[in-house]
């Protein structure tokens, strides 16, 4: 079983200069240490410090999962030299790229507690991480499939930042809501899934 440690809560807001956003960054501490979404390239020092606070060095991370390829979700991948990278549908280690049929719906099993599943919609190659935890049941780290908790009642929050494949995204949102207890969305704090979705 795993501990889900949200290192940084994601956020997004509109400003006069444009939208200001960074992603939720999550440490999954357990059998294989995993980090999900790695902020922007300007966040390396603070990310490293946060990991040290949790008794983890960058070299201890076995997998880096980026829920999709946008720059605010992939920026510090360079810190994790011992990790296998899963960036959207692409799996690699150094210069080696592995075949995996995410496009055909196949989950990628990291171990008996953690899997990565295809959940396209925000981009056509989004993935989500599903993890069994010690104290919260099943948790999904979804990236921008969910923008923040408030988008459960206000569709415009996720539709306005998506790629226009709203039907596909809605379908994958429903699938996640049915199966998990908690969600870490791309740009807001972790929230509990309301019971009526079950
Ligand atoms: Zn994002």
Question: pLDDT tens, 22-42?
Answer: 999 999 999 999 999 999 999
pLDDT of residue 16: 86
Q: So where are the chain's domains?
A: 3-197
Cα of 22 from ligand 1 centre, angstroms: 7
Cα of 151 from ligand 1 centre, angstroms: 14
pLDDT of residue 196: 94
In angstroms and rounded to an integer, the radius of gyration of the C-alpha atoms of the chain is 16
pLDDT of residue 76: 98
Cα of 73 from ligand 1 centre, angstroms: 6
Number of helices (H), then strands (E), belonging to the chain: the values are 4, 15
List phi, psi (to 5°) of 67.
-65, -25
Cα distance between residue 56 and residue 194, in whole Å: 33
Cα of 23 from ligand 1 centre, angstroms: 6
List phi, psi (to 5°) of 89.
-85, 5
Q: Please give the CATH superfamily to which domain 3-197 belongs.
A: Ribonuclease Z/Hydroxyacylglutathione hydrolase-like (3.60.15.10)
pLDDT tens digit string along 53-108? 999 999 999 999 999 999 999 999 999 999 999 999 999 999 999 999 999 999 99
Residue 6 near residue 189, CB atoms below 8 Å: yes
Cα of 36 from ligand 1 centre, angstroms: 12
In order of 61, 115, 169, 170, 175, the CA distances from 119 in angstroms are 24, 12, 7, 10, 9
Residue 50: its H or E element:
helix 44-53
Cα of 11 from ligand 1 centre, angstroms: 9
Cα of 118 from ligand 1 centre, angstroms: 16
pLDDT above 70 covers a percentage of the chain that reads 100
Cα of 72 from ligand 1 centre, angstroms: 6
Cα of 21 from ligand 1 centre, angstroms: 7
Cα of 144 from ligand 1 centre, angstroms: 5
Residue 19 burial (CB count, 10 A): 11
pLDDT of residue 139: 98
Mean pLDDT of 107-112: 98
Helical H segments across 89-180, by residue range: 156-159, 166-179
HSE-up of residue 89 (Cα within 13 Å, Cβ side): 16
Q: Which of 56, 66, 59 is nearest to 24 (CA)?
A: 66
Cα distance between residue 123 and residue 101, in whole Å: 17
Cα of 162 from ligand 1 centre, angstroms: 10
């Amino acid at each position: 079983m795993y501990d889900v440690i949200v290192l940084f809560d994601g956020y997004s807001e509109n400003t006069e200069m444009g939208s200001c956003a960074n992603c939720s960054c999550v440490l999954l501490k357990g059998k294989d240490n995993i980090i999900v979404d790695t902020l922007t390239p300007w966040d390396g020092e603070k990310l490293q410090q946060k990991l040290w606070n949790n008794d983890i060095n960058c070299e201890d991370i076995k997998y880096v999962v980026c829920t999709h390829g946008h720059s605010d979700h992939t920026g510090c991948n360079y810190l994790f030299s011992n990790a296998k990278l899963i960036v959207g549908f692409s799996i690699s280690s150094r210069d080696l790229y592995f075949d995996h049929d995410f496009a055909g719906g196949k989950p990628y099993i990291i171990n008996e507690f953690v899997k990565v599943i295809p959940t396209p919609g925000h981009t056509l190659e989004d993935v989500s991480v599903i993890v069994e935890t010690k104290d919260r049941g099943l948790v999904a780290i979804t990236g921008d499939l969910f923008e923040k908790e408030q988008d459960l009642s206000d569709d415009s929050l996720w539709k306005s930042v998506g790629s226009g494949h709203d039907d596909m995204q809605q379908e994958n949102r429903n699938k996640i809501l049915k199966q998990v207890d908690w969600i870490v969305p791309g740009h807001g704090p972790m929230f509990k899934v309301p019971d009526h979705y079950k």
